[in-house]
């Protein structure tokens, strides 16, 4: 699942051991996302649950458990099929549990799984502050580095000009927008790295993802 980014391939392989597609009753469509953005300082977890195309709003258990501390965080029902919790800090290893009563009176519908998110990263280029047009080639060079060598399944890059790009090679660099499309001025860059696992205990389309995002502003002179 994970790929080695820059260094530490042994650590990257060891970290894969936490993720588990899990099991369940194969009756629920569950889409779970956890996202941490530097600056917000919290992990936002959202889970949507459906059964046979119908929103499940009466779940008896929807929570995530921190794989490092064992702390359990129940999600609150927010609206049609949607449950949410905001947890202070980045929670990289999360175990998901979903249980809901069976309307037919049989065994409760259920699903469990575990996922390890990507390591934290920083944006190396462009640096916060300014860069000169002559320091770049025909495209903006975007570079990032993580702190323990564990890569992500995909990297999403966005610039507030409307530029957006998804790469599946977590190599630490990617070509950004054309420099010709960036007149002198101030811009915001976002680099978000994401790991995802399909949920073996749910119906087709069930998935769990964890993302780590960094935003920075830079000027072009």
| Average pLDDT of the residues in 176-194 | 95
What kind and span of H or E run contains 9?
Answer: helix 9-15
Per-residue pLDDT reduced to its tens digit, 18-45: 999 999 999 999 999 999 999 999 999 9
- Give the model confidence (pLDDT) of 71-100 as tens digits: 999 999 999 999 999 999 999 999 999 999
Listed residue (110, 98, 101) closest to 61, CA to CA: 98
DSSP type of residue 111: E
Identify how many contiguous H helices and E strands the chain contains and give both numbers: 1, 18
pLDDT score recorded for residue 8: 31
Confidence of residue 15 (pLDDT cuts 50, 70, 90): very low
Domains of the chain (ranges plus CATH)? 17-117 (2.60.40.10)
| DSSP code string of 139-208 | EEEEEEEESS-B--SEEEEEETTTEEEEES--SSEEEEEEGGG--SEEEEEEEEEEEEEE-TTSSTT-EE
pTM: 0.90
Q: Which contiguous run of DSSP H or E holds residue 13? A: helix 9-15
């Amino acid at each position: 699942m994970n790929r080695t980014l820059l260094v530490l391939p042994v650590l990257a392989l060891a970290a894969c051991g936490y993720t588990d597609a899990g099991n369940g009753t194969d009756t629920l469509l569950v889409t779970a996302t956890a996202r941490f953005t530097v600056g917000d300082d919290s992990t936002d977890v959202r889970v949507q649950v459906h059964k046979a195309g119908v929103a499940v709003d009466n779940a008896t258990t929807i929570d995530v458990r921190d794989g490092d501390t064992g702390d359990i965080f129940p999600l609150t029902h927010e609206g049609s099929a949607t449950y949410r919790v905001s947890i202070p800090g980045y929670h990289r290893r999360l175990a998901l549990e979903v249980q809901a009563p069976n309307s037919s009176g049989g065994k409760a519908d259920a699903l469990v799984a575990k996922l390890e998110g990507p390591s934290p990263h920083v944006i190396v280029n462009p640096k916060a502050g300014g860069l000169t047009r002559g320091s770049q080639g025909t495209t903006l060079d975007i570079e990032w580095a993580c702190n323990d060598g564990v890569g992500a399944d995909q990297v999403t890059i966005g610039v507030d000009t409307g530029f957006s790009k998804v790469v599946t090679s977590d190599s630490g660099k990617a070509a950004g927008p054309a420099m010709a499309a960036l007149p002198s001025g101030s811009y915001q860059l976002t680099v978000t790295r994401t790991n995802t696992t399909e949920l073996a205990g749910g119906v087709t389309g069930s998935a769990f993802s964890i993302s780590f995002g960094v935003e920075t502003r830079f000027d072009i002179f």
